[in-house]
Amino acid sequence: MKLDLHVHTCLSPCADLLMVPDVVKDFSEKLDALGIADHNSAKNVRAFSRVKEIVVPGLEIQTVEDVHLLCFFTKIENALKVTEIVYEHLPKIRHDHERAGYQLLVNEKGEYTGYEDHPLNMPTDLTLKEVVELVVKNGGFPVYAHAERRFGVLFQLGFFPELEVYVAEVVSEEGKILAEKAGLRAIVASDAHRPEEIGKRYIEISCEGKRIEKIFESILRGEYRLGGVCPWLG
Amino acid sequence: MKIREIAEKLGLKHVCGNLDEEVKYGFTCDLLSEVLGRAKPGTLWITVQTHVNIVAVATVVGIKGIVLCNGHEYDKETVEKAVQSGIVLLKSEENSFLVSGKIYELGLR
């Protein structure tokens, strides 16, 4: 099963407005499963839940240390519950869509249903530890986003702290080596903000069945291989 | 004080923005939430962060200019957004401590 776990939608202010369900569906034909993870919000996940047979609900939370943490759930409800808590911890300012990028809510047909006015491009006031605890408490599965790049845990902190996070998305061979040295499973994903980026990197999992729990069990056991544009794989 | 005066006296590289903007305060920090919560309008911000979100933070706070230290490069997208938002971007090869000290000596507080 080919899975690209890190895909943004038109809800993320930095993503292309074309990241609507039909377009994401068209551009992910070669994949079997997608993870939808917008910045600090899972409010568009439901609209995208039928673009693939398997869509993993998620969000990418920005901690007070400016670390991006991907948080995945088996149920949309849990992702939405965590979203509400995240919203309470974002700065109390109204997002400027014109200047900082549109944050658009859509329905399954890709029709814009509204603006999200919480500033999703801003950090929460929650520490990385607090976010990990929040996610785990709500049955979620945390993954360090682009660990060795800007807003990644290694870039921001310089090391992998001892937390209940066992998987890291990496973007380079160096990141892969560092993650594995720290005892983490290293995966890749596209972090797509534009349609043509979807599936640029993905993992191919040997996984029985289609339940999201099983997918994460397979990742934890290392039963996957990296795919897509990973030049360091040779 | 005009940003121009600071840029010239410190030999900062000008990336974009109007150097005639006036600043009264300096703020040195790499954590966006701290800057959001504590920096004042009319500030020159000294940091090593390069991501486009620094422009969003600057816009929200009313920061007039950013000095990027340690020889880092701004992302292309950051420069584009700064041009749109009218935020002055400057660069220095020196570290944040040295840059902050020199700016303090010039009179920003």
Give the A window 13-52 contacts with B, CB below 8 Å: 14
- Chain B residues lying within 8 Å of A131, measured CB to CB: none
Contact B24, B108 (CB under 8 A): yes
Do A93 and B53 count as a contact with CB atoms less than 8 A apart? no
Q: What is the pTM of this model?
A: 0.91
Topology given in CATH for the domain delimited by B3-106: 3.40.1390
Written as one letter, the residue type at A27 is F
Q: Which residue of chain A is at minimal alpha-carbon distance from B61? A: A93
Do A122 and B57 count as a contact with CB atoms less than 8 A apart? yes
Distance from CA of B107 to the nearest CA of A (A): 30
- Chain A residues lying within 8 Å of B80, measured CB to CB: none
Q: Does B18 have pLDDT greater than 80? A: yes
Contact A163, A183 (CB under 8 A): no
Q: Where are the domains of chain B?
A: 3-106
Q: Which of A169-183, A206-220, B21-35 is predicted least confidently?
A: A206-220
* Structural domains in chain A, sorted by start: 2-233 (3.20.20.140)
Distance from CA of A91 to the nearest CA of B (A): 8
- Whole-number CA gyration radius for chain B: 12
Chain B interface residues (partner A, CB cutoff 8 A): 30-33, 36-37, 49-53, 56-57, 59-60, 84-85
Written as one letter, the residue type at B102 is K
Q: Does A231 have pLDDT greater than 80? A: no
Which are the contacts of B65, defined by CB distance < 8 A and separation ≥ 6?
Answer: B3, B17, B21, B23, B44, B45, B87, B88, B89, B90
Do B56 and A99 count as a contact with CB atoms less than 8 A apart? yes
Do A66 and B32 count as a contact with CB atoms less than 8 A apart? yes
Quick: pLDDT tens for B93-103: 999 999 999 99
The pairing of strands A2-7 and A33-39 is parallel
Quote the ipTM score.
0.77
